[in-house]
């Protein structure tokens, strides 16, 4: 029943909100997870129809500004070379994610000690290891044991097939003697936990109708619902409310009919991602919190990180099945750890992407002048389609207080709530790393037999990873939440999404986001008796 007091109110039903909801369910508290989006119907995903690629540019676009669903909010991304990508729905951005699922390396938690940059995390790899393992089981991660890039870890099921593109690229890495390994993927290669195995439809990033890709709606939330967690779709939260004692009292939100409502709660947990969470905190200003809720450090919305990417394409003589199968197949961690001789600190992974379908091939080929208009068009197209595979480098983005999420002065969502504005610049360090990654990937592709190699950087539509805007730390002056995710300022307010990252690592973040959410949930459970002392 709405309006009745609830114990735990989670805002955001994406990767982290779903994980924390599932973990807390065993307490038998009354737990409600609100999201502005709605439940997705897999039978309506683009992959069920022939226009699947075109719909990825419309109602399943990565960009909320392009998608413009009633459940989306606009984002002013005119001041960033990398546009924000997300999805607002039950399952959050995991509805669209590709399911590349690497963990952080142990070194990622101590970059200040190792490299003299940014800050160390208040926790380390060993702290998260049991939560990584639990998250792997809940998610159903496919992979191959023994990857020398990581400390020993169990795998849940066999890896995705390399396919012709993966085997070709692996051959290139082998010739150079560089690391590669089948990727860990949040995609089931066998029937798992009520989900069917991947059937290689190849449309993972516009929703997996097969249910093989582990979006949070069909993993954590399916279990959470059975354990009496309530999910309230179409609830768009405007602000977190507080009382004179400095505690959160609940939220003000708009329901599906646009009616303003309030909901009280004992504990409020934010899981709105690295853009949505600072937006909500900044929109929750009050006389006690004039700079925004939980913002005594002044760091809410600062240190925004989003991983600059480069894509390096190779065109091969052979047909290499570029559109058959999930995007992921292999990765390389060869250049992950710092090496001063390279001219930058920290590093990156390569993730290989099998390639594009017919529309994607045409769009990228024409944009990069590889597929010309006019009399050569068909020949060019034939040479590229099903012949082009690529590597993407995910470059570690270091925190910089001048990269920010703030509130736009004019732009508002359809409920009249101020929209976020992004200011982001690619650092000199990242720029050098991007260039280095393009040069090395070119060597791999040529060693693998590519006849033509071309690249682009940064991937302008690729703001997929939203991190750092409400960081973890033990010092209230230099962090927004403490080492177990509780606001330094508001004792019954927690943050579990990507905003709490201290540094970004050079890998996709969702595996770590979900492990952190489980770790924070565990801390809440263990400390319940004296949570607010």
Ligand X SMILES: Cc1cc2nc3c(=O)[nH]c(=O)nc-3n(C[C@H](O)[C@H](O)[C@H](O)COP(=O)(O)OP(=O)(O)OC[C@H]3O[C@@H](n4cnc5c(N)ncnc54)[C@H](O)[C@@H]3O)c2cc1C
Size of the site for ligand SF4 (CB under 6 A): 15
Closest residue by beta carbon to ligand X = 14
CB of 207 to ligand SF4, least distance (A): 8
**Partner whose footprint covers residue 347, from ligand X, ligand SF4, none (CB < 5 to 8 Å by kind):** none
* 161/476 with CB nearer ligand SF4: 161
Min dist. Cβ of residue 17 to ligand SF4 (A): 22
Please give the angle made by the CA atoms of 188, 189 and 192, to the nearest 5 degrees.
Answer: 50
Residue 246: CB minimum distance to ligand SF4, A: 46
Residue 16 binds which entry of ligand SF4, ligand X, none, CB below 5-8 Å type-dependent: ligand X
Which residues contact residue 269 at a Cβ distance below 8 angstroms, ignoring those fewer than 6 apart?
8, 9, 10, 11, 17, 20, 493, 494, 495, 496
Report the Cα–Cα distance between both ends of the chain, in Å, rounded.
30
Q: Which does 326 bind (CB under 5 to 8 A by kind): ligand SF4, ligand X, none?
A: ligand SF4
Structure tokens that stand for 88 in this block: 């607002």
Per-position DSSP letters for 497-524, written without gaps between them: SGGG-SS-TTS-SHHHHHHHHHHHHHHH
Binding mask 319-358 for ligand SF4 (x = CB under 6 A): ------xx--------------------------------
Which run of H or E residues covers position 297?
none
Q: Which of 31, 162, 201, 315 binds ligand SF4 (CB under 6 A)?
A: 201
Nearer to ligand X among residue 316 and residue 331 (C-beta)? 331
Cβ-based nearer residue to ligand X, 86 or 329: 86
Burial degree of 435 (CB within 10 A; 0-12, 13-18, 19+): middle
User: Which of ligand X, ligand SF4, none lies near 47, with the C-beta cut-off 5 to 8 A by kind?
Assistant: ligand SF4
Which of 195/302 has CB closer to ligand SF4? 195
Length of the chain measured in residues: 533
**Partner touching 20 among ligand SF4, ligand X, none, CB below 5 to 8 Å by kind:** none
> Pick from 509, 96, 63, 37: which is nearest to 306 by CA?
509
Burial-class residue 39 by CB neighbours within 10 Å (0-12, 13-18, 19+).
middle
Residue 458, CB-side half-sphere exposure with 13 Å CA sphere: 26
464 binds, among ligand SF4, ligand X, none (CB under 5 to 8 A by kind): ligand X
Written as six digits, the tokens of 23 are 């973990």
Work out what residue 276 binds among ligand SF4, ligand X, none; the CB cut-off runs from 5 to 8 Å by kind.
ligand X
Integer Cα distance of 526 and 530 in angstroms: 9
Q: Which is nearer to ligand SF4, 188 or 445 (CB)?
A: 188
Token reading at 12: 């955001």
Residue 319's binding partner out of ligand X, ligand SF4, none, with CB under 5 to 8 Å set by partner kind: none
Q: Which stretch binds ligand SF4 (CB under 6 A): 199-207, 416-424, 473-481, 509-517?
A: 199-207
**Chain positions contacting ligand X, by CB under 6 A:** 11-17, 34-37, 62, 85-89, 92-94, 96-100, 205, 236-237, 271-273, 276, 280, 464-465, 497-498, 508-510, 513
Contact call for residues 360 and 444 (beta carbons, < 8 A): no
Q: Which residues pair with 352 in a beta bridge?
A: 391
Residue closer to ligand X (CB basis): 407 or 450:
407
Q: From residue 501, give the alpha-carbon distance in Å to each of 13, 303, 361, 373, 467.
A: 19, 10, 35, 45, 6
Tell me which of ligand X, ligand SF4, none is bound by residue 237, counting a contact when its beta carbon lies within the kind-specific cut-off of 5 to 8 angstroms.
ligand X
Local structure of 29: helix, strand or coil? coil
With CB under 5 to 8 Å by kind, the binding choice for 212 among ligand SF4, ligand X, none is: ligand SF4
Q: Contact 251/241 with Cβ under 8 angstroms? A: yes
316 and 168 Cβ atoms separated by less than 8 Å: yes
Closer of 75 and 353 to ligand SF4 (Cβ): 353
- HEC letters along 308-370: CEEEEEEECCCCCCCCCCCCEEEEECCCCCCCHHHCCCCCEEEEEECCCCHHHHHHHHHHCCC
User: Minimal distance in Å, beta carbon 369 to ligand X?
Assistant: 25
CA neighbours within 13 Å on the CB side: how many for 250?
Answer: 15
Mask for 203-222, x = binds ligand SF4 (CB under 6 A): xx---x-x-xx---------
Q: Does 269 bind ligand SF4 (CB under 6 A)?
A: no
**Closest CB to ligand SF4 among residues 213, 307:** 213
> Considering the rule CB under 6 A, would residue 417 count as an interface residue with ligand SF4?
no
Residue 138 burial (C-beta neighbours within 10 Å; 0-12, 13-18, 19+): buried
Residue number with CB closer to ligand X (438 or 513): 513
Residue 513 interaction partner, one of ligand X, ligand SF4, none, beta carbon < 5-8 Å per kind: ligand X
Residues in region 177-196 near ligand SF4 by CB under 6 A: 187
Contact 281, 293 (CB under 8 A): yes
Please state the closest distance from residue 9 (CB atom) to ligand SF4, in A.
32
Site string for ligand SF4, 41-70 (x = CB under 6 A): ------x-----------------------
Q: Are 184 and 143 in contact (CB under 8 A)?
A: yes
Q: Which residues would be at the binding site for ligand SF4 (CB under 6 A)? A: 47, 187, 198-204, 208, 210, 212-213, 325-326
């Amino acid at each position: 029943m709405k309006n009745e007091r609830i114990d735990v109110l989670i805002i955001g039903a994406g990767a982290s909100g779903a994980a924390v909801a599932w973990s807390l369910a065993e307490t038998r508290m009354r737990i409600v997870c609100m999201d502005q989006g709605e439940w997705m119907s897999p039978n309506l995903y683009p992959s069920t129809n022939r226009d699947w690629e075109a719909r990825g540019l419309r109602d399943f676009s990565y960009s909320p500004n392009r998608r413009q669903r009633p459940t989306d909010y606009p984002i002013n991304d005119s001041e960033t070379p990398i546009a924000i990508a997300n999805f607002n729905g039950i399952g959050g951005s995991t509805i669209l994610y590709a399911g590349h699922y690497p963990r952080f390396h142990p070194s990622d938690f101590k970059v200040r000690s190792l490299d003299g940059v940014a800050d160390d995390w208040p926790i380390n790899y060993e702290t998260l290891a049991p939560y990584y393992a639990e998250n792997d089981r809940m998610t159903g991660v496919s992979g191959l044991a023994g990857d020398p890039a990581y400390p020993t870890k169990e795998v849940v099921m066999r890896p995705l097939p390399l396919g012709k593109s993966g085997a070709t690229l692996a051959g290139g890495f082998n010739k150079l003697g560089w690391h590669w390994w089948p990727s860990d993927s949040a995609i089931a290669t066998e029937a798992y936990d009520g989900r069917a195995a991947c059937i290689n439809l190849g449309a993972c990033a516009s929703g997996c109708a097969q249910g093989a890709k582990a979006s949070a709606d069909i993993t954590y939330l399916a279990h959470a619902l059975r354990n009496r967690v309530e999910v309230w779709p179409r609830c768009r939260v405007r602000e977190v409310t507080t009382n004179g004692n400095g505690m959160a009292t609940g939220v003000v939100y708009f329901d599906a009919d646009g009616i303003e409502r309030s909901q009280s709660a004992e504990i409020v947990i934010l899981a709105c991602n690295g853009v949505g969470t600072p937006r909500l905190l900044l929109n929750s200003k009050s006389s006690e919190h004039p700079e925004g809720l939980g913002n005594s450090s002044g760091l809410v919305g600062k240190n925004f990180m989003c991983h600059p990417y480069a894509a390096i394409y190779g065109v091969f003589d052979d047909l290499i099945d570029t559109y058959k199968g999930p995007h992921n197949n292999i990765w390389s961690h060869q250049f992950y750890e710092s090496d001063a001789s390279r001219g930058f600190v920290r590093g990156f992974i390569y993730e290989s992407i099998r390639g594009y379908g017919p529309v994607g091939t045409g769009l990228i080929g024409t944009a990069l002048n590889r597929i010309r208009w006019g009399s050569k068009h068909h020949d060019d197209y034939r040479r590229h389609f099903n012949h082009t595979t690529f590597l993407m480098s995910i470059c570690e983005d270091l925190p910089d207080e001048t990269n920010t999420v703030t509130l736009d002065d004019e732009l508002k969502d359809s409920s009249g709530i101020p929209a976020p504005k992004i200011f982001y610049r690619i650092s000199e360090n990242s720029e050098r790393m991007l260039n280095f990654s393009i040069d090395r990937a070119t060597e791999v592709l040529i060693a693998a037999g590519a006849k033509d190699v071309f690249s682009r950087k940064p991937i302008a539509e690729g703001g997929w990873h939203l991190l750092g805007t409400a960081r973890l730390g033990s010092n209230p002056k230099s962090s927004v939440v403490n080492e177990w995710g509780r606001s330094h300022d508001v004792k019954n307010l927690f943050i579990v999404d990507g905003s709490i990252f201290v540094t970004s690592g050079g890998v996709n973040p969702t595996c770590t986001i979900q492990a952190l959410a489980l770790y924070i949930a565990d801390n809440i459970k263990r400390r319940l008796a004296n949570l607010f002392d």
